[in-house]
Chains A and B, each alone.
Chain A
Amino acid sequence: MSLTPKNRDVETSFWPRALCALAGGILFGLGLAVSRMVRPEIVLEFLRLRDMGLLLVLGGATGTCLLVFQLAPRALKKPLLGGIFERHPGHLDKRTIVGAAIFGAGWGLCGVCPGPAIAGLGAGLWPLAWAVLGLLAGAWLHGFYASRSDRFS
C-alpha cells in the first residue's frame, strides 16, 4: 500500500507479485461469494441489524489477518518475494473521519463496498456494474479534489 520500496527484490519480482495478487484475490473473491457479501441485500440486512453475519465475516477476516500481520514480520526477515513488511503511511485527521462518514453513507445507501462490487461481477450480479462505475467516478472526484489541493495520500 505504501510507496513500493526501491530495491532490487521488488523490481525483479514484478510477475510473481502480480500472480500473488491474483491468487490472493481469488481467495478473497471466493470468501465474498461463500459469505454472500457480494449480495447488497445481505449487507443491508446487517446494516438494518436483522442479521449479524457481516460481523462474523469481518471478524473472521480480521482475526486471520491480525495473527498473520503480527506474526509474519517476527517469523520472517522479509516477505517471501523480497522487499519489506510495509507500514502503510496512513493519516488520522479530519479527512479520515469525514471520508469514513461519506463512505458509510454510500455503503448504507447501496449495500456495496469496493471488494464486493468487483467480486459481484464474477458472481453474475450484473447490476453491481453500476456500483463499480460509481466507485470509479468517486475515486476520480477524490483525485480531482486532491490534485487541486495539491495533496497526496
Chain B
Amino acid sequence: MTVLSVFPALSGPFPNGWAHYLAGGVLIGAGVSLIYVATGTAAGTSSFFSAQWSWFSRLSFFGHARWRQERFWRLAYALGLIAGAFFWRMGTGVRLTTAVAPWRLLVGGLLAGFGTRLSGGCTAGHGICGIASLKRESFVAVPVFLLTAIVIAHLLP
C-alpha cells in the first residue's frame, strides 16, 4: 500500500513517487529559513564560488568588501551542505552514482557558474530566496533559466 495508491492521479507526472521530493524541498526551505531568521540573510548558494575567490584572487571584483565579509560563513554553509548529504548517505546506506560524462559536468558547471553570477542568483538565490522575497528580477530569471535548461536538455542526448 503505497501513497500512490491513495493518490493514483499523481503517479503520472511522478513515476518515482512524490513524497520524498516534497519532504526534501521543505527541508531545504527549513535550512534557508533558519539562516534568514537568525541572520537576516537570504542565503543563495552560488555566491559561495565568488566569495571563495576572494581568498586567492587579486582581481578588483573579488577585492570588494562584500566577499571578505561573506567568505567565511559561506564556507561554513558549503561545509554544511556536504555534511547534510553525508549524514543522509551514512544514515540510509544509499550509494548514488552518476553516468553523466565529466566533460558535460565541467562545461555545464562553467556555463552555470558564469551565468548565475552574471544573473545574480541560481536555483537557490533566484528560485527559492528571490521568489520568497518577491523580487521582480527573480520572477524574470527563474522562467528564463527553466525554459533554457528544458530546451538544452531536450536538444542533447
- Chain A contact surface mostly: helix
**How extensive is the interface on chain B, given as a class?**
35 or more
Q: Are B104 and A110 in contact (CB under 8 A)?
A: yes
Q: Are B26 and A138 in contact (CB under 8 A)?
A: no
CB distance from B15 to the nearest CB of A (A): 6
B72 to chain A minimum Cβ distance, whole angstroms, is 6
Q: Is the CB of B137 within 8 A of A66?
A: no
B22–A56 touching, CB < 8 Å? yes
Cβ A34 vs Cβ B128 within 8 A? no
Cross-chain contact B109 with A140 (CB below 8 angstroms): no
A24–B76 Cα distance when bound, in Å, is 10
- Whole-angstrom CA separation of A52 from B131 in the bound complex: 19
Q: Indicate if the CB atoms of B109 and A135 lie closer than 8 Å.
A: yes
Collect the chain A residues with CB atoms within 8 Å of residue B109's CB: 106, 110, 112, 117, 130-135, 137-138
The A/B interface has a contact count, at CB < 8 Å, of 539
Q: Across the interface, do A34 and B24 meet the contact criterion of CB distance under 8 Å?
A: yes
Whole-angstrom distance from the CB of B101 to the nearest CB of chain A? 9
Q: Is the CB of A100 within 8 A of B40?
A: no
Nearest CB in chain B: distance from A3 CB, A? 6
The residue on B at minimum CB distance from A75 is B37
Question: Is residue B9 contacting chain A, with contact meaning CB distance below 8 A?
Answer: no
Chain B residues whose C-beta falls within 8 Å of the C-beta of A138 in the assembled complex:
49, 109-117
B152 touches A65 (CB 8 A): no
Q: A25-B81, A30-B84, A47-B150 are in contact. Are A115 and B60 (CB under 8 A)?
A: no
Residue-wise, chain A 41-71 has the 8 Å CB interface mask toward B (1 for contact) of 1101001111111101111111111101110
Q: Are A131 and B108 in contact (CB under 8 A)?
A: yes
Q: Which 4 pairs of residues, A with B, have the shortest CB-CB distance?
A: A25-B80, A138-B113, A134-B109, A60-B25
